[in-house]
């Protein structure tokens, strides 16, 4: 609606869906060239693989949906299609798919990435342990991280959103997380989610950087708003690779999307929110990332007003990312000015797990005390693991078993003796 592209009621919306279903997929290959002088548009054109596109080259958007849902279109066929589809095709087909369609197709696609743990294996569900603290206090971060580890959270990443973008805090946060990882011998990776330029500066100073993080968007102008360009991301990717902290061939980047940055900075070039979101995935996939997640409910009610819209958008984003070959996770979350609550998050978590989401974000008690929004709790992750039988990454699962996590014989420090046991840099 903010983009001025909303339908004027249910009948008009359906008419639009009918029209969309009849559009040939080939038309989107001409369409992407319409935005002149946009680096993301050029990237999309450059990424497109005509051979991979061949199986669907003659289809309309509607026939593409049927093809995706056909039982004979298996995970392998969908994996081979990844570089044959453009963001515009993926966003278009998502708009004529029901929730169960989005789940059915996503669940067929397995996107596996590796660092110290293997993420995305079919039947597994990983978690980001997000121990944010409003003043980046080392002890506060350590306590929240441990709270999650004691419940088996953090096999995708232990990742902190820093309160400031200062280099010294960035380095200290990396050191705190590195201390926890090495002292508890955890087969996972960590990340300070500061700006990519801060990560570059930290790597120059030999900080222990596992993953480089950046928020990305679907146009050059919107990425400028984040202070990033493809060349800066290229530079950061090369730098983190050169650190050699991961096994050969590991995935080294972490991206977040779904902020609605393109629309709020008026950098959407007349395109709708979902297309701009899928275009951000084109940026992300250039770097073979370990993790990508949409922060779907963080966007605010001007984009997604209520629980129903957040659930729908979470499924769409996950589907679009997976179809483009990304290791897609979701921050199942909402802000206090949205018409949503924890009940909606229960439903979104449950449907995403059915759809085979690679990972979700978890915080102590579902309350992020730094970013002031609600995500999932460590308990919520436990609920879905137990109910749907979705263990974490195999390496991490072995570590949990070896340390008796979830049993009375747990060998990790407890919250009350954690800071006596762990050696972490305080300032």
Partner 1 sequence: MSQLHHLSRQDIKALTEARLTFGPRGRAMDTSTSLQFSLDHARAREAVLSELDVPRIQKALKAAGLDSQTVTSAAGTRDIFIRRPDLGRLLPEATAETLHNESPLDVALLLADGLSAIAAALNGPAFVTALSKRLLARGLTIGKIVCARQARVAIGDRVAQALGAETVVVALGERPGLSAADSLGVYITHRPKATTQDSARNCISNIREAGTNVVDAAEQAEQLIVAMRETGLSGVELSMARAENTLTSQSD
Residues forming the site for partner 1 (CB under 8 A): 2, 131, 133-134, 137-140, 143-144, 147, 150-151, 300-302, 305, 335-337, 341-342, 363-367, 369, 372, 374, 377-379, 382-383, 406, 415-420, 422-426
Of residues 17 and 342, the one with the C-beta less far from partner 1: 342
Q: Tell me the closest approach of the beta carbon of residue 2 to partner 1, in angstroms.
A: 7
* Tokens representing residue 67 in the block: 């093809």
Q: Tell me the closest approach of the beta carbon of residue 65 to partner 1, in angstroms.
A: 30
Residue 193 to residue 254: CA distance in whole angstroms: 9
Of residues 104 and 382, the one with the C-beta less far from partner 1: 382
Q: Tell me the closest approach of the beta carbon of residue 118 to partner 1, in angstroms.
A: 24
Of residues 80 and 346, the one with the C-beta less far from partner 1: 346
Of residues 99 and 335, the one with the C-beta less far from partner 1: 335
Residue 377 to residue 366: CA distance in whole angstroms: 4
Of residues 44 and 261, the one with the C-beta less far from partner 1: 261
Point out which residues pair with 367 in neighbouring strands: 374
Find all residues with CB under 8 Å of 335, minimum gap 6, and list them.
Answer: 297, 298, 300, 301, 372, 373, 374
Q: Tell me the closest approach of the beta carbon of residue 420 to partner 1, in angstroms.
A: 5
Q: Tell me the closest approach of the beta carbon of residue 72 to partner 1, in angstroms.
A: 41
Of residues 233 and 267, the one with the C-beta less far from partner 1: 267
Of residues 66 and 401, the one with the C-beta less far from partner 1: 401
Decide: helix, strand or coil at residue 264: helix
Quote the longest CA-to-CA distance of the chain: 65
> How many other C-beta atoms are found inside a 10 Å radius of the C-beta of residue 205?
11
Q: Tell me the closest approach of the beta carbon of residue 378 to partner 1, in angstroms.
A: 7
Q: Tell me the closest approach of the beta carbon of residue 293 to partner 1, in angstroms.
A: 21
Find all residues with CB under 8 Å of 42, minimum gap 6, and list them.
Answer: none
Q: Number of helices (H) and strands (E), helices first, in the chain?
A: 20, 13
Decide: helix, strand or coil at residue 248: coil
Residue 105 to residue 351: CA distance in whole angstroms: 13
In the DSSP assignment, the letter for residue 413 is P
Report strand pairing: 157-160 vs 190-192.
parallel
């Amino acid at each position: 609606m903010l983009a001025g592209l909303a339908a004027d009621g249910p009948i008009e919306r359906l008419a639009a869906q009918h029209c969309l279903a009849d559009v040939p997929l080939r038309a989107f290959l001409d369409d992407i060239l319409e935005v002149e002088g946009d680096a993301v548009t050029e990237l999309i054109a450059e990424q497109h693989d005509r051979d991979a596109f061949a199986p669907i080259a003659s289809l309309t958007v509607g026939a593409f949906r049927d093809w995706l849902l056909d039982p004979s279109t298996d995970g392998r066929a969908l994996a081979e299609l990844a570089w044959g589809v453009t963001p515009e095709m993926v966003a278009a087909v998502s708009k004529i798919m029901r929730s169960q369609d989005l789940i059915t197709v996503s669940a067929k696609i397995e996107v596996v990435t590796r660092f110290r743990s293997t993420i995305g294996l079919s039947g597994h569900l990983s978690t980001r342990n997000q121990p944010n603290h409003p003043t980046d206090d080392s002890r506060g971060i350590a306590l929240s991280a441990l709270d999650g580890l004691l419940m088996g959270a953090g096999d995708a990443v232990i990742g902190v959103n820093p309160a400031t973008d200062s280099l010294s805090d960035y380095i200290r946060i990396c050191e705190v997380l590195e201390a926890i990882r090495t002292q508890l011998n955890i087969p996972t990776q960590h990340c300070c989610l500061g700006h990519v330029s801060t990560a570059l500066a930290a790597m120059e100073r030999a900080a222990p950087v596992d993953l480089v993080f950046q928020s990305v968007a679907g146009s050059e102008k919107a990425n400028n708003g984040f202070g990033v360009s493809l060349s800066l991301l290229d530079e950061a990717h090369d730098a983190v690779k050169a650190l050699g902290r991961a096994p050969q061939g590991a995935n080294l980047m972490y991206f977040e999307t779904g902020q609605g940055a393109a629309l709020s900075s008026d950098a959407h070039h007349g395109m709708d929110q979902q297309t701009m979101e899928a275009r951000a995935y084109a940026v992300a996939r250039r770097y073979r990332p370990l993790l990508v997640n949409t922060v779907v409910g963080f966007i605010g009610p001007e984009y997604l007003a209520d629980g129903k819209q957040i659930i729908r958008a979470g499924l769409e984003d996950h589907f679009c990312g997976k179809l483009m070959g990304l290791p897609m996770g979701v921050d199942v979350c909402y802000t206090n000015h949205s018409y949503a609550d924890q009940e909606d998050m229960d439903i979104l978590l449950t449907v995403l797990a059915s759809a085979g989401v690679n990972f979700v974000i978890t915080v102590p008690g579902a309350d992020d005390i730094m970013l002031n929004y609600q995500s999932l709790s460590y308990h919520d992750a436990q609920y879905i693991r137990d109910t749907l039988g979705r263990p974490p990454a195999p390496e991490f699962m072995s570590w949990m078993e070896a340390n008796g996590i979830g049993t009375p014989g747990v060998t990790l420090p407890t919250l009350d003796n954690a800071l006596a046991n762990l050696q972490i840099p305080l300032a």
